[in-house]
Structure 1
Amino acid sequence: MGKIYAVEYVTLDGVFEEPSWSGPYFNDELQDWQFQNTMTADIQLLGRVTYEGFKEAWPAMEAETGEFGRKFNAMPKQVATTTLTEPEWNAAFIEGDVAEAVRGLKEQHDNIIVNGSGNLLNHLTKHNLVDEYRIMVFPVVVGAGRKLWDDGTKVALSLANSWTTKTGVAVLTYVPA
């Protein structure tokens, strides 16, 4: 059975959207860690909004990001969407029940990475499908924006690993308790 790991950027006040606030804190340590997260993944699992943003940005960034960009662009992607009809960028769209489809993906793949994709992450969490939450907590408070967790989302977690970058980003790995 494969493993789903969610890799998320959040502020101290829990905001995850539009992570331009992460730029001043992103360094070689995080770059290396993100490289390992991506290189060990077999497939990406994305929500529609993240998929559309990544699809627009990443193909043009491949030259500057080298091996990471090549892997990110070439990796198969499964996208949870009810509105898109024409998959692009090595993507296929999940049809039917998302939780059931993701259970099937876990049977077919060893390592499935979820980046961003807040609605999808909350749905997967409610169905106990996430095996690891790899969360980078950036030392900034932005005061407003979409929080990573929807109101009402509940999950008990255990800290499996933690470390801090030289720029003060706490990198926390949690597993379901």
Structure 2
Amino acid sequence: MSKIVAVVRISMDGVLEEFTPFWDEEEDKFQRGQLFASRALLLGRRTYDAMSKVWRAMTHEDDFAARMNSIPKYVASTTLSDADWSSVVIKGDVAEQVAKLKREPGRDLLVYGSAALVNHLIEHGLLDELKLLLRPVVVGAGRHLFPSGVAITTWALAGTTVFSSGAVVLDYRPVGFGG
């Protein structure tokens, strides 16, 4: 059975954004470890669209780009009917299909970004780890990881990693539901 691990980059005010000035060798090592420890990516459609445009163009880069381009990807989408870039669209009941993928033997399934997918996985008890990559910046506006009205869940801090840039990885595991 595989674990489902989500890595989500957020600002101090909880906004999902890309803050490239904070990417450094330490984060590169962290991200490389996550990608190479995984057997496949689970992505929402918006994240898939953004990542596929960027990474397809990086065919000449290093082994990270080669891994990103070749790793199997499962895309949860109600609007996408077909996908390329080593991808399969999850059709029908996303929770049911992801649960089947999770039951397969092998390494982790990695979720990048994909706030709606992360929330769906949490709602159905499928997310095993949530790694918040907290960037030391307040951006003031944007899309948040958790929407207003989300069900209360309790998480246990399993570990932290502090980068010299001031970014912090907060590694959480679900422990139950409340409220």
What's the TM-score, normalizing by structure 1? 0.94
* Structure 1 segments (4+ residues) deviating >3 Å: none
Correspondent of 1:128 among 116, 125, 129:
125
Shift of 1:55: 1.2
Distance, in Å, in 1 between the alignment partners of 2:86 and 2:10 is: 27
Look up the match of 1:101: 97
- Runs of 5+ consecutive residues of structure 2 not aligned to the other structure: none
Shift of 1:87: 1.5
- Runs of 5+ consecutive residues of structure 1 not aligned to the other structure: none
Aligned length: 173
Correspondent of 2:35 among 33, 38, 48:
38
Asked if 1:13 corresponds to 2:13, the answer is: yes
Asked if 1:87 corresponds to 2:48, the answer is: no
Correspondent of 1:163 among 161, 164, 178:
161
Distance, in Å, in 2 between the alignment partners of 1:57 and 1:6 is: 20
Look up the match of 2:68: 72
2:40–2:110 contact (8 Å) kept in structure 1:
yes
Name the one with the larger helix percent. 1
Distance, in Å, in 2 between the alignment partners of 1:37 and 1:152 is: 30
Look up the match of 1:148: 145
Letter in 1 for 2:16: F
Asked if 1:111 corresponds to 2:108, the answer is: yes
Distance, in Å, in 2 between the alignment partners of 1:92 and 1:23 is: 28
- 1:81-137 alpha-carbon deviations (Å, 9 max, x no partner): 111122200111111111011100001243100001111111111111110011110
SS in 1 for 2:153: coil
What's the TM-score, normalizing by structure 2? 0.93
SS in 1 for 2:60: helix
Residue 62 to residue 135, structure 1, CA distance change in 2 (3 Å): farther
Distance, in Å, in 2 between the alignment partners of 1:141 and 1:62 is: 33
Distance, in Å, in 2 between the alignment partners of 1:171 and 1:81 is: 28
Distance, in Å, in 1 between the alignment partners of 2:58 and 2:153 is: 36
Distance, in Å, in 2 between the alignment partners of 1:11 and 1:172 is: 13
Distance, in Å, in 2 between the alignment partners of 1:163 and 1:84 is: 36
Correspondent of 2:135 among 135, 138, 147:
138
Shift of 1:63: 2.0
User: Percent of aligned pairs with the same residue?
Assistant: 40
Correspondent of 1:61 among 58, 61, 71:
58
Distance, in Å, in 2 between the alignment partners of 1:61 and 1:13 is: 31
